[in-house]
Amino acid sequence: MSAAEYPRHGFSTCPHDCPSTCALEVELLDEASIGRVRGARENDYTAGVICAKVARYAERIHHPERLGRPLRRIGPKGQGRDAFVETSWDEALDEVSAAFAGAMQRHGSQTLWPYHYAGTMGLVQRDSIELFRHLLGTSRQHSTFCITLADAGWIAGTGAKRGSDPRDMAHSDLIVLWGCNPVYTQVNVMHFVARAKRERGAKLVVVDPYRTATADKADLHLMLQPGSDGALACAVMHQLFADDRVDRDYLERYTDAPAQLEAHLLSRTPAWAAEITGLDETRIIEFARLYGDRPRSFLRLGYGFTRSGNGAANMHAVSCLPALTGAWRHRGGGALYANADLYGIDQTLIKGLDVLDPDTRVLDQSRIGDVLCGNPRDLQGGPPVDALLVQNTNPVAVAPETRKVLAGLNRDDLFVCVHEQFMTETAAMADIVLPATMFLEHDDFYQAGGHTHLQVTRGLVRPYAECRSNHQVLAAIATRLGYSHPGFELDARALIDDALRRSGLPGEAELARARWRDCSQGFEGNNYLDGFATPDRRFHFRPDWRRVGNDVENMPQLPDHVSPQNPRDAGHPFRLVAAPARQFLNTSFTETRSSRLAEGRPQLLLSPLDADTLGIADGDLVRIGNRLADILLPVKLFEGLPATVVVVESIWPNHAFIEGLGINALVSAEPGIPNGGAVYHDTAIWIRPEPEDQHA
């Protein structure tokens, strides 16, 4: 590319862990620099709209603190960049390979745990670590940070992780945003809400334990107790039956046990649910009637309300609603949680499914603290984890039970390699840190959770300094250790091509040119009018929970309220919700100045009523805690909260908190049921005013 061809525009896809997976137009200033990023106007989901943090991506990709060269730690763990010296790629990879080989010689290959998550959602750069695991026979990973509880609850009823086309929200008469805050976390949804309101006079209902920026725009905000969503859904269903606002023909043709459900719900009255949810009974009835009167009602279900020990039961209960009213029959009706099962991408080569040994152990990523600290329950009779390779995630800030995570990473006999873009708190614990490319610097392809487009993208700018992609690094380490596999011999572009062709789709070049492919199954397919994806093609009010998990003893037979895992007790009278902040995406963007400035500082949102009871004023410092830890942070009085519910928007790094310990120190690593899953919003705490003289 000659200099004369700049500036120009290139096309890409947002790789971040966000259902919107926006199609992007990127201003290219030269072969290594970008300017403004915009949403692609031609994409009918993105429709030219993206969030502010990605619009100013130049700040992140050209950040002065971005890692550019391999680093070896020579100082104390946790100190940061000053504890490292630069080294060459050859020396770094030799050291990593030698450490991995030594650990594997001592304990076998399962002592190595390649650990990843969703720092990029690209199917090559995120998932090729699976090939590395399978090829080397290392410990595998149960990925439980985000989707596990929600997946189990949704799939229990529908049989597949897909749903109504979100563009159909424009045809809705009622949109219910349940447990999500799209103004912060998937801005495009609000575009379709606005259209439905403008063009059809649609109503918006938001179900959320606090008055989010999205709830601010609602016609009805149901501000319920965290973890009580199953009770609300049951009471709405009770009222729908009581008012005869159910579609009995649909129930007969498309569902498994409508008569048992009706009988079961007789006792799940709005009064019963009012006790559990903290909502006024009349508000529950108002919502049920809004829902029952509008067949074109669209449920957009988020992850928030599932991040609780009872989250799968809650998701299943809520997902029953459109099957009662037959909303699935109507354009603009139905429900969407996520669309991962829409695309059918064959990732055999990318993930090395041909070399997978199903007997290798699977370790729970949310329990990394217990794993590294050698909890026998987590090690499952296998060797200790003496070697860790981390890509795409920052468990020191993200994983539950921070103190245990830090204790594990502090082990002198643990070798840690982190492949990262910035000196995160996890990278600061590593022995070797390798610099990683960002999405505009490598090839990848993306399937959207929140819409129906598959997107193929090519790198647009030269990788910064000596940065290498995830796939390149994994291939290099595997090769040094003497392993070979076609998935590590091909480059990313060839792997994309292979996966697309195996899946019966056009190849990489054609889709890269087209920019995206709409994989919608059409209205009938998306709305399961040709049958649900269960064995009997019916929606299951009475699910076989064993199809989605093993820990089924306490799962309800029919939709119901299940107690949260960590309810209030006398010593812990408050419930804590650790919700996402607008300007961060997990811990991504916590490094950019504009995001940090906009967010200010970590603070506890507390209702004025609770503040009065505790004798606390706006801006006061309080200590909040439970059996796991206690942390110190300032209070912000906030009216939009039920009494005894508090919120900390994050994920701020630990070091942003006054005493260097962040919010996830208070979150239990005990898995939800029936298939595990982190319980980020299922936490009981105490709150104590902090005497001023302690922090003068």
| Angle at which helices 270-277 and 229-242 cross, to 10° | 160
Out of 16, 66, 191, 517, point to the residue binding ligand SF4 (CB under 6 A): 16
Nearer to ligand SF4, 212 or 534 (CB): 212
Nearer to ligand SF4, 171 or 582 (CB): 582
Out of 187, 323, 430, 628, point to the residue binding ligand SF4 (CB under 6 A): 187
186 binds ligand SF4 (CB under 6 A): yes
Q: Shortest Cβ distance from residue 153 to ligand SF4 (Å)?
A: 23
Q: Shortest Cβ distance from residue 21 to ligand SF4 (Å)?
A: 5
397 by Cβ neighbours in 10 Å (0-12 / 13-18 / 19+) ranks as: buried
Out of 18, 233, 335, 385, point to the residue binding ligand SF4 (CB under 6 A): 18
Nearer to ligand SF4, 126 or 623 (CB): 126
| Residue 451: alpha-carbon gap to chain centroid | 16
Which DSSP state fits 645? E
Nearer to ligand SF4, 18 or 679 (CB): 18
- Which of these ranges, 12-20, 206-214, 605-613, 651-659, lies near ligand SF4 under the rule CB under 6 A? 12-20
20 binds ligand SF4 (CB under 6 A): yes
Out of 273, 379, 585, 605, point to the residue binding ligand SF4 (CB under 6 A): 585
Out of 12, 21, 339, 586, point to the residue binding ligand SF4 (CB under 6 A): 21
- Which of these ranges, 10-18, 238-246, 374-382, 642-650, lies near ligand SF4 under the rule CB under 6 A? 10-18
Q: Shortest Cβ distance from residue 30 to ligand SF4 (Å)?
A: 23
- Which of these ranges, 15-23, 232-240, 369-377, 654-662, lies near ligand SF4 under the rule CB under 6 A? 15-23
Q: Shortest Cβ distance from residue 187 to ligand SF4 (Å)?
A: 5
Answer whether 348's CB lies under 8 Å from 354's CB.
yes
The C-alpha atoms of residue 25 and residue 42 are separated, in whole angstroms, by 10
The C-alpha atoms of residue 113 and residue 107 are separated, in whole angstroms, by 12
190 binds ligand SF4 (CB under 6 A): no
Q: Shortest Cβ distance from residue 20 to ligand SF4 (Å)?
A: 4
Out of 26, 28, 50, 409, point to the residue binding ligand SF4 (CB under 6 A): 50
- Which of these ranges, 16-24, 123-131, 528-536, 570-578, lies near ligand SF4 under the rule CB under 6 A? 16-24
Within 13 Å, how many C-alpha atoms sit on residue 353's CB side?
8
51 binds ligand SF4 (CB under 6 A): yes
183 binds ligand SF4 (CB under 6 A): no
The C-alpha atoms of residue 319 and residue 313 are separated, in whole angstroms, by 10
Which has the closest alpha carbon to 407: 377, 376, 371, 433?
371
Count of other CB atoms within 10 angstroms of residue 371: 26
| Residue 254: alpha-carbon gap to chain centroid | 31
54 binds ligand SF4 (CB under 6 A): yes
- Which of these ranges, 46-54, 133-141, 265-273, 305-313, lies near ligand SF4 under the rule CB under 6 A? 46-54
Q: Shortest Cβ distance from residue 527 to ligand SF4 (Å)?
A: 24
The C-alpha atoms of residue 315 and residue 301 are separated, in whole angstroms, by 8
Nearer to ligand SF4, 120 or 675 (CB): 120
454 binds ligand SF4 (CB under 6 A): no
- Which of these ranges, 19-27, 261-269, 378-386, 574-582, lies near ligand SF4 under the rule CB under 6 A? 19-27
Q: Which of residues 489-518 bind ligand SF4 (CB under 6 A)?
A: none
Which DSSP state fits 340? G
The C-alpha atoms of residue 168 and residue 151 are separated, in whole angstroms, by 22
300 binds ligand SF4 (CB under 6 A): no
586 binds ligand SF4 (CB under 6 A): no
Q: Shortest Cβ distance from residue 146 to ligand SF4 (Å)?
A: 14
Which has the closest alpha carbon to 419: 15, 57, 67, 46?
67
| Residue 383: alpha-carbon gap to chain centroid | 30
The C-alpha atoms of residue 537 and residue 517 are separated, in whole angstroms, by 27
The C-alpha atoms of residue 248 and residue 240 are separated, in whole angstroms, by 11
- Which of these ranges, 4-12, 50-58, 232-240, 363-371, lies near ligand SF4 under the rule CB under 6 A? 50-58
Is the bond leading into 608 cis (omega within 30 degrees of zero)?
Answer: no
How is the beta sheet containing 516-518 ordered, strand by strand? 444-447, 453-457, 516-518
Which has the closest alpha carbon to 158: 315, 325, 305, 332?
315
The C-alpha atoms of residue 613 and residue 636 are separated, in whole angstroms, by 15
Q: Shortest Cβ distance from residue 338 to ligand SF4 (Å)?
A: 14
Pairing of strands 220-222, 203-207: parallel
Nearer to ligand SF4, 35 or 691 (CB): 35
Got the DSSP string for 352-373? TGGG--TTS-EEEGGGHHHHHT
Q: Where are the alpha helices (DSSP H) in 34-170?
A: 52-55, 58-61, 89-107, 128-136, 148-158
Answer whether 174's CB lies under 8 Å from 203's CB.
yes
- Which of these ranges, 47-55, 341-349, 465-473, 518-526, lies near ligand SF4 under the rule CB under 6 A? 47-55
513 by Cβ neighbours in 10 Å (0-12 / 13-18 / 19+) ranks as: exposed
Site residues (vs ligand SF4, CB under 6 A): 14, 16, 18, 20-22, 50-51, 54, 186-187, 585
